[in-house]
Structure 1
């Protein structure tokens, strides 16, 4: 039996012990505490890892275990939902690589591996760690992006409510920075809702707006045009001197739209 075959046999018959020792050593060297459930899951994954190593040494395959990839994705998911940082996972990889290097040296001596065979084993282990690290980061970024998108949708729904004030009149309070994304939301979600409320006036209140740009001003003018086509008159309120200066500076034209200091004043003059 060749040296690699002996090592393959050893890995296939001792994967559980090797995996448990690796996880315990990693936790000790990093001086961290992790839940028992997470530790058990890590041991389970590394059992699969070393089983795969044993099989790959015999079959000369470079396939990456799917269980390792799924584990990497779950690590990212766990960090996101716990409010953790991706760096808290990534910093574990150098320590794991060091342990792998030590194992490679140990196996080389124990099974009389050549330098070429020892390097080959270390390359296999590092290749799998590379895939795990990349999958973890990709999954973290993807989930973070999706969560931000969901949060933005929820925020838009809450921040752009149509508030009926009296028959035929409603107010649309705008809050924060009015960017092209927010204006698109108004066009696609809020305006259709306004169209079904049988309104004569919509008071667009800018009291909570911080700033907007030339593109946003153009979109807002389009919204006013759409409302006019629906037979709804638009009234602006709460435009601060700072916003008024921005509007003038970027050439925004609201000459055909009535403006008042606040919603109360607007109601008094309708």
Structure 2
């Protein structure tokens, strides 16, 4: 039996032990306090990875197995749950070192020559590099998708439509009004207001703590869109900073009338 086949057989027969050794050595080298459940999760992942190594030794193919890329995507999905990519990336170097030591010891045990060992280590390093690249790329994609979902949820919460009386709705703006929030209001709230059958819309700014400078004009355009639909628009709760910004930018507030607060605005309609 050739040394490579012997090493491959050993890996397949001892993959659980090898995976456990990798995890223990990596944890010791990083001096990290990792929960038991995460250690078990990592061991299961490395069982799959050492299996990839054993399969490569048998096949001799230098291409990266598709199953390894799928495995890396799974890593990204698990990391994206806590949002901390560094906890995974920091483990790659010690993992590389530990696996290199394991392969070197196996090469000595089964009389694998230096040339074959060098080729094996080189391919394993390629696998680790590809795995890391795939993990990072998919993490960034998942993080971007999660951010979009979070922005949408914040936009829904931060700009609700509140019916207060027949023919009157209040649009209370809350938090930080950024470009995404403005786009959401124009695309999603304007149609709802149009179909609500109201005569008055009161846009209340009292809950806003920040509006990006360039978005003041877009809010004005939103107001103009509502007015074009034949609905009277009132603005309330405009803070001094927002008032100063509109003046400095030379923006005329498009609301029909402006009141200090929501109570006075409602009383004016009566």
TM-score, length of structure 2 as denominator length:
0.87
Give structure 2 stretches of 5+ with no counterpart.
Answer: none
* Superposed displacement of residue 2, structure 1: 4.2
Aligned to 1:227: 226
Q: Post-superposition shift, 1:174?
A: 1.0
Q: Could you give the per-residue CA deviations for residues 182-209 of structure 1, whole angstroms, max 9, x where no partner exists?
A: 1111111111111122111111111122
Q: Gaps spanning 5+ residues in structure 1: where?
A: none
RMSD: 2.5
Kindly state the Cα deviation for residue 235 of structure 1 after the two structures are TM-superposed: 0.9
- SS of 1:61's equivalent in the other structure is coil
Q: Hey, what does 2:21 align to over in structure 1? A: 21
Aligned equivalents of 1:255, 1:88: Cα separation in 2: 50
Instruction: Please list, as runs of the form range in 1=range in 2, the aligned pairs for 1:122-133 lying within 5 A after superposition.
Output: 122-133=121-132
Give the whole-Å Cα distance in 2 for the aligned partners of 1:262 and 1:9. 77
Q: Residue 103 of structure 1 corresponds to which residue in structure 2?
A: 102
- Once residues 217 and 156 of structure 1 are traced to their aligned partners in structure 2, the CA distance between those partners, rounded to angstroms, is 17
**Aligned with 2:233: secondary structure?**
strand
1:127 to 1:164, Cα distance in 2 relative to 1, 3 A? same
Q: Distance in 1 between matches of 2:181 and 2:29?
A: 48
Aligned pair in 2 of structure 1 residues 184, 166: CA closer, same or farther (>3 Å)? same
May I ask how many residue pairs the two structures share in their alignment?
268
Written as runs of structure 1 = structure 2, the 5 A alignment for 1:1-270 is: 1-31=1-31, 32-36=33-37, 38-81=38-81, 83=82, 85-213=84-212, 215-254=214-253, 257-270=256-269
Q: Deviations over 1:155-186 (max 9, x none)?
A: 11111111122221111111122222211111
